[in-house]
C-alpha cells in the first residue's frame, strides 16, 4: 500500500522489465543473527513497508511462543535518521510500522520519539527488563541501505538458533494483518510508551560510574573535535561530555546534523580512516584541538585521531584504541577497587580476529581474558553469562572500532567510548603524555603487538570455496600448509570444520560454523594470521598480528617481519592473480 514502491513495480511491469523484477522479487532478504541489512526499495529483496511488516509479524509470533509475559513486559524500538526519497522508506516510518504490528497484538511498545544511538536500544531492554529490542539502522553502510537489528531479553544481539526461528516465523506470517499499514493507530494507543526522556536521564547517570577524574575533566585545557558523520551522535556525545564535566567538543558543523544523503563523505564509515576525517582535521587545526573523536552514523563505533609532535595526524587502529582503553579501564578499576582478591572475578573479552594485547595485560595483571567469535553478538552474550555468575566484565572490544566500556550496555557503544577516551586523554595530559606516547608505554610494559589487516574482493562464491578447499588439502587430502614462504606454520585452527591442532583432542573450543569460512594459522615466529569470509560483503578478509615479549623494543624490525609475513600470506594462500581477486584500494 505504499504508493511509491507500488508505482515502481507497476512501471517495471509496464516496461516488461523481467530482469529488474527478478532482482526485486527473486529472493527474500535473509534474516540472520544481524537481523536484516539491504537497500531500501521495492520487492521482497529490499527494505520497505511490506517487508518490515512481514518481518515484525514473524518476530512478534516468535516472541509470543518464547515469552508467556510478552504482553506484560513488551519491546523497545529505536531508529536512526536514514531515509530514501524514491521508495518513501525511512527508519522512522519502519519503526512506526513495526510498533503498529506489536500493538495490534496487545504488546506494549517503548518507541523512541526521536533518533537515538543504537546502544540505547540494548540499554533500554536491560533497564526496563523487556523481552526484546529492535533498532532500525544500517549503521555505516552506504546511504541507500537500511537494517533491522534485533536484541534478546538479555540485552545482547540474538545468536543462533533465534535467527532461524524468527526466519521461519516470517515465512509463516507474510500476509499483512488487518490494520498493518495504518501506523496512525499507535498514537492513541495506551500500549505506546516513549522512553526518550527516561533513557536520556538514566543512561548518562549510568555511564558516570566510569567517570573517575571529574576534577581533572573540569580543568583540562585539552580541546577535542567531534564528528557524527551526518548521523545521530552529535547531541548524545555533547551530553556525555557534560555528564563527565568536560567542556563540550567542537562539532564539525557540516556533519553534525543528521543527513541521510551523507553529502560530505564517499562512505559514512570512520573505519575508512583519513578520507572521512578531512573536515575534522581542518576544524581541529582552526580551533587548536589535538584529538578528534569520530562516531559512525548510528554512534555505536568510535575512531580516534591525535595530532603528533611532527604536525601529522595519527588515526589509531581499532586494536590500538582497544589496547589504550583496556589499559585505562583496568587501571581505573585497580585504583578504585577496595578488594584485591576481586581480581580473580575480573574479565575482559575480545573477538578472535582482534589483537591479543588484552591477553598480555591479563597474564601480567592477573585477571581473566577470553576470546569469542567475531562480532559483538558473541561478546555481549558471553559478558551476560559471566555477569550472571557474579563476574565483573570491565571491557570488550573488536578491531572494527567497536568498544563496550560500560556493563549497562552489552553491545558496542561509541558514545560512552568517546567520553571515556576524552577523560583518559585529559588525565594523560596532566602527566605530559599523549595517547600515542601512552600506547608505546603499554606496549613497552606488556609486549609489542603489531597488527595488519586488509581484504580482497571476490564476487564468485565458487572461487572463495575453492581457495579455502585448497588450504585444507594443501599437500594432498586433508593436509594444511606446513609453511607459508619462509614462515613455518606451528598451529592451525579451522572454525569452519572444528579442527584445532593445539587441542589434545584436536577439536576447537570456540563454536564452529559450516556456513562461513575461517582458518587461523599460528607461525613459529609468534605471528598469527586469520583468513575469513565476510557475512555481509563479497570480501575475503585477513587479520595478522606479531606479538613480542616485553622488552623487545625493535618495533621497526617487528613491522618489517609482519610485512614479510603478510606478503607471503597473500602470495601463497590467497594467490590473487590465479584467483582473480581484487585488492582493497587504499
User: Residues with catalytic annotation?
Assistant: 139
- Residue (of 475, 490, 453) closest to 570 by Cα position: 453
Task: In whole angstroms, give the CA distance from residue 384 to residue 390.
Answer: 10
Strand partners, 582: 457
Contact (CB, 8 A) for 529 and 520: yes
480: left (phi over 0), alpha (psi -120 to 50) or beta: beta
Backbone angles phi, psi at 154, to 5 degrees: -80, 0
Task: In whole angstroms, give the CA distance from residue 246 to residue 214.
Answer: 8
Backbone angles phi, psi at 436, to 5 degrees: -60, -40
Contact (CB, 8 A) for 325 and 439: no
Cα dihedral 335, 350, 576, 565 sign: positive
Integer angstrom CA distances of residue 450 from 230, 529, 544, 560: 32, 12, 8, 10
- Residue (of 278, 292, 277) closest to 223 by Cα position: 292
DSSP states along 257-286: S--TT-TT-SSS-GGGGGGGGHHHHHHHHH
C-alpha grid cell for residue 76? 523497545
| CA 280 to mean position of chain CA atoms | 22
- Residue (of 326, 461, 452) closest to 396 by Cα position: 326
Task: In whole angstroms, give the CA distance from residue 549 to residue 531.
Answer: 24
Contact (CB, 8 A) for 83 and 101: no
Contact (CB, 8 A) for 233 and 260: no
Task: In whole angstroms, give the CA distance from residue 2 to residue 94.
Answer: 12
Contact (CB, 8 A) for 513 and 507: no
Residue 296 burial (CB < 10 Å; 0-12/13-18/19+)? buried
C-alpha grid cell for residue 217? 575533566
Helix, coil or strand: residue 228: coil
Pairing of strands 89-90, 83-84: antiparallel
Helix, coil or strand: residue 299: coil
Amino acid at each position: 500500500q505504499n504508493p511509491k514502491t507500488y508505482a515502481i513495480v507497476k512501471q517495471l511491469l509496464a516496461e516488461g522489465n523481467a530482469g529488474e523484477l527478478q532482482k526485486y522479487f527473486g529472493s527474500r532478504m535473509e534474516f540472520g543473527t544481524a537481523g536484516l541489512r539491504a537497500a531500501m526499495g521495492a520487492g521482497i529483496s529490499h527494505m520497505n513497508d511490506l517487508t518490515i511488516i512481514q518481518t515484525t509479524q514473524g518476530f512478534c509470533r516468535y516472541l509470543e511462543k518464547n515469552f508467556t509475559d510478552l504482553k506484560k513486559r513488551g519491546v523497545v524500538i529505536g531508529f536512526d535518521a536514514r531515509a530514501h526519497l524514491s521508495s518513501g522508506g525511512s527508519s522512522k516510518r519502519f519503526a512506526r510500522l513495526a510498533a503498529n504490528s506489536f500493538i495490534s497484538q496487545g504488546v506494549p511498545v517503548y518507541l523512541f520519539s526521536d533518533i537515538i544511538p543504537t546502544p540505547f536500544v540494548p540499554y533500554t531492554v536491560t533497564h526496563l527488563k523487556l523481552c526484546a529490542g529492535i533498532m532500525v539502522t544500517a549503521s555505516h553502510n552506504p546511504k541507500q541501505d537500511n537494517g533491522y537489528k534485533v536484541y534478546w531479553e538479555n540485552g545482547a544481539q540474538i545468536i543462533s538458533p533465534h535467527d532461524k526461528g524468527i526466519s521461519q516465523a516470517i515465512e509463516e506470517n507474510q500476509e499483512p494483518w488487518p490494520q498493518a499499514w495504518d501506523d496512525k493507530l499507535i498514537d492513541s494507543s495506551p500500549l505506546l510508551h516513549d522512553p526518550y526522556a527516561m533513557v536520556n536521564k538514566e543512561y548518562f547517570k549510568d555511564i558516570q560510574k566510569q567517570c573517575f577524574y571529574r576534577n581533572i575533566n573540569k580543568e583540562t585545557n585539552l580541546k577535542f573535535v567531534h564528528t557524527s558523520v551526518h548521523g545521530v551522535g552529535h547531541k548524545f556525545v555533547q551530553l556525555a561530555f557534560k555528564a563527565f564535566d568536560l567542556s563540550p567538543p567542537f562539532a564539525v558543523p557540516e556533519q553534525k546534523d543528521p543527513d541521510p544523503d551523507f553529502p560530505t563523505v564517499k562512505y559514512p564509515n570512520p573505519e575508512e580512516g583519513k578520507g572521512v576525517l578531512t573536515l575534522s582535521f581542518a576544524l581541529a587545526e582552526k580551533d587548536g584541538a589535538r584529538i578528534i573523536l569520530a562516531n559512525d552514523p548510528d554512534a555505536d563505533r568510535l575512531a580516534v585521531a591525535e595530532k603528533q609532535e611532527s604536525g601529522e595526524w595519527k588515526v589509531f587502529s581499532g586494536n590500538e584504541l582497544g589496547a589504550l582503553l583496556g589499559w585505562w579501564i583496568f587501571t581505573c578499576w585497580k585504583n578504585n577497587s577496595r578488594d584485591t582478591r576481586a581480581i580473580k572475578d575480573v574479565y575482559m573479552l575480545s573477538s578472535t580476529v582482534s589483537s591479543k594485547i588484552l591477553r598480555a595485560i591479563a597474564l601480567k595483571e592477573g585477571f581473566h581474558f577470553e576470546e569469542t567469535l567475531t562480532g559483538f553478538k558473541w561478546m555481549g552474550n558471553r559478558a551476560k553469562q559471566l555477569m550472571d555468575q557474579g563476574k565483573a566484565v570491565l571491557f570488550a572490544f573488536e578491531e572494527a572500532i567497536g568498544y563496550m566500556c560500560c556493563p549497562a550496555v552489552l553491545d558496542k557503544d561509541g558514545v560512552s567510548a568517546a567520553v571515556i577516551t576524552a577523560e583518559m586523554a585529559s588525565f594523560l595530559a596532566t602527566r605530559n603524555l599523549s595517547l600515542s606516547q601512552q600506547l608505546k608505554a603499554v606496549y613497552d610494559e606488556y609486549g609489542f603487538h603489531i597488527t595488519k589487516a586488509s581484504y580482497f574482493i571476490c564476487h564468485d562464491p565458487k572461487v572463495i570455496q575453492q581457495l579455502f578447499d585448497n588450504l585444507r588439502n594443501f599437500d594432498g587430502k586433508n593436509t594444511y600448509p606446513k609453511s607459508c614462504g619462509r614462515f613455518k606454520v606451528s598451529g592451525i585452527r579451522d572454525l569452519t570444520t572444528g579442527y584445532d591442532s593445539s587441542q589434545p583432542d584436536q577439536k576447537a573450543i570456540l563454536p564452529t560454523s559450516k556456513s562461513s569460512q575461517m582458518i587461523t594459522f599460528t607461525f613459529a615466529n609468534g605471528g598469527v594470521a586469520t583468513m575469513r569470509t565476510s557475512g555481509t560483503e563479497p570480501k575475503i578478509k585477513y587479520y595478522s598480528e606479531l606479538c613480542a615479549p616485553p622488552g623487545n623494543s625493535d618495533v621497526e624490525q617487528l613491522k618489517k617481519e609482519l610485512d614479510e609475513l603478510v606478503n607471503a600470506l597473500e602470495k601463497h594462500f590467497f594467490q590473487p592473480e590465479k584467483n582473480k581477486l581484487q585488492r582493497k584500494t587504499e
